[in-house]
Amino acid sequence: MRVVIAEDLFLLRDGLVRMLEAFGFEVLAAVDNGPALARALEEPSLEVAVVDVRLPPTQTDEGLRCALAARRARPGLPILVLSQHVEQLYARELLADGRGGTGYLLKDRVFDAAQFVDSVRRVAAGGTAMDPEVISQLLARSSTRDRAVNRLTPRETEVLELMAQGRSNAAIAEKLVVTERAVSKHTASIFQRLELTPSDDDNRRVLAVLAYLDRG
């Protein structure tokens, strides 16, 4: 699997390269600034990009802006964003097109190699990988602004959080100690309450989270 890495800290960037190569990834480029990332994201054979939100020269949102521009040019391009802290605006922007191949992880998660590599693979396959802390803060913020939150039961909110992390129904059932059938019922209820119409799009689970964020 071919990957581009963008991280301005040399030790972390080098560590990511070594880690992903050890798990069979081919690193097409490992860059430390926005302009270099923009060029690397144009590589036709690219399958997934791991991008730090903040990169030189601005050290603000350079990495994210490059990623969003690349997704506009190549809809659905898998992007896994890394950030030092939960930055809700950036997470929302990344999710805004409702497409798959999207991830937002805190850098602390990088130190669990198996978990991180699984997240990269999941995003590359068109799925989602959302840090639990990111989801928690997004939901907490939206709940103060959005009446839709009040239409979900506590159990449905739990299911939604786990769905947004990219967990399957089986994994959610195991986490909550319920049956898969129960999870399916909760999921259907969530989609109905949030007025998400039936679709073949696998990313409707992520749209359930976006429904909170986009209705203010």
Pick the range with the lowest mean pLDDT from 18-32, 61-75, 156-170, 196-210: 196-210
As a whole number, the mean pLDDT across the chain is 83
Q: What is the pLDDT of residues 83-128, one digit of tens each?
A: 887 766 666 667 666 566 888 898 888 888 998 999 999 999 988 8
Nearest to 189 by CA among 213, 156, 165: 156
pTM of the model: 0.68
Residue 129 and residue 167 in contact, taking contact as beta carbons nearer than 8 Å = no
d(CA 69, CA 71): 5
- Taking CA atoms, 9 is separated from 16, 36, 55, 110, 199, in Å, by 11, 15, 9, 13, 41
